């Protein structure tokens, strides 16, 4: 029975349709800038990180706090609002646009993943989806957001939880996959 089923053939993988919207020189400069200034536990100077993100095309509001050891794939595909906190070891794997609105807290080790693979295709095709974190969202430590997810206003994703669908506003989610456990009431 298993011998007749189709199998994955990675040699057929072709993501030639995908473009990171920057030439190879810009991507190479960003690669080393990311290693030296962002994905580095020994570089805590925030205003230099904000300056560099803007130089590389990120749209950044005021009051961004970005901790050490953060990994950002492509800053030119990043839009960050006002008073956003990004904790240690956050990974923003933005193959496509990631929008982070005002007053969002992304806790330590959280992952924002805009790319995945289509396991239904023998060629294991790349699939992408934008991520939007609306105002007041809080992503708990080591939480994961998958491609195409919108976390609506003031939604909370608990630590170690995985969001693979949109999160409702003012709601708290937990688990893998995350399910709504209660309303978020702000006093």
Name the stretches of the chain with pLDDT < 50.
Answer: none
Burial status of residue 186 (CB atoms within 10 A of its CB: 0-12, 13-18, 19 or more)? exposed
What confidence score (pLDDT) does residue 63 get? 98
Query: What domains lie within the chain, and their CATH numbers?
Result: 22-183 (2.160.10.10)
Q: How far apart are CA 109 and CA 142, in angstroms?
A: 4
What confidence score (pLDDT) does residue 5 get? 87
What confidence score (pLDDT) does residue 2 get? 65
Measure the N-to-C terminal CA separation of the chain; round to a whole number of Å: 59
């Amino acid at each position: 029975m298993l011998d007749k089923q189709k199998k994955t053939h990675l040699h057929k993988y072709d993501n030639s349709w995908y473009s990171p919207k920057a030439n190879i020189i810009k991507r190479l400069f960003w690669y080393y800038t990311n290693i030296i200034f962002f994905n580095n536990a020994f570089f805590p100077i925030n205003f230099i990180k904000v300056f560099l993100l803007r130089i590389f095309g990120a749209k950044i509001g005021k009051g961004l706090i970005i901790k050490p050891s953060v990994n950002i794939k492509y800053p030119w595909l990043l839009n960050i609002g006002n008073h956003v906190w990004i904790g240690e070891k956050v990974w923003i794997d933005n193959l496509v646009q990631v929008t982070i609105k005002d007053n969002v807290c992304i806790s330590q080790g959280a992952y924002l993943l805009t790319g995945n693979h289509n396991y239904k295709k023998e060629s294991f095709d790349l699939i992408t989806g934008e991520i939007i974190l609306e105002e007041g969202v809080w992503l708990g430590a080591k939480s994961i957001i998958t491609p195409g997810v919108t976390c609506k206003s003031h939604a909370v994703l608990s630590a170690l939880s995985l969001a693979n669908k949109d999160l409702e506003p003012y709601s708290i989610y937990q688990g893998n996959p995350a399910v709504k456990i209660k309303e978020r009431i702000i006093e």
